[in-house]
Homo-oligomer: A and B are copies of this chain.
Amino acid sequence: MRVLVLGGDGYCGWATALHWCRRGYGVGIVDSLVRRHWDRQLQIDTLTPILPIEARIRCWRTLTGKTIDLFIGDLTNYDFVKSSMQQFEPDAIVHFGEQRSAPFSMMNRERAVETQVTNVVGNLNVIFAMHEHFPNAHLVKLGTMGEYGTPNIDIEEGYITIEHNGRSDRLPYPKQPGSFYHLSKVHDSHNIQFACRVWKLRATDLNQGVVYGVSTEETDMDEALINRLDYDGIFGTALNRFCIQAAIGHPLTVYGKGGQTRSFLDIRDTVRCVELAIANPAAPGEFRVFNQFTELFSVNELAHLVKDAGEKLGLRVAIENMENPRIELEQHYYNAKNTNLLDLGLQPHKLSDSLLDSLINYAIRYQHRVDMDVIAPTVTWRNGYVAPTMVAV
Contact = CB atoms under 8 A, between A and B. Distances in A.
B121 A113 contact: yes
A109 interface: yes
A190 interface: yes
Number of copies: 2
A168 B283 CA distance: 33
A364 interface: no
A78 interface: yes
Contacts of A165: 153-154
Interface in A160-214: 160, 162-165, 167-169, 171-180, 183, 186-187, 190-191, 193-194, 197-199
A382 B198 contact: yes
Nearest to A155: B164
A197 B329 CA distance: 11
Contacts of A38: none
Interface string A115-127: 0110011001100
A72 interface: no
Nearest to A182: B194
Interface in A118-162: 120-121, 124-125, 128, 132, 151-154, 160, 162
Contacts of A366: none
A381 interface: yes
A365 to B, nearest CB: 38
Contact of A187 (B154, B169, B190, B381): B190
17 contacts: A78-B109, A109-B124, A109-B132, A113-B121, A113-B124, A113-B125, A116-B120, A117-B117, A120-B187, A153-B164, A154-B165, A160-B174, A162-B174, A174-B174, A175-B190, A180-B194, A186-B187
7 tightest A-B CB contacts, nearest first: A152-B169, A171-B174, A109-B128, A153-B164, A187-B187, A198-B327, A172-B174
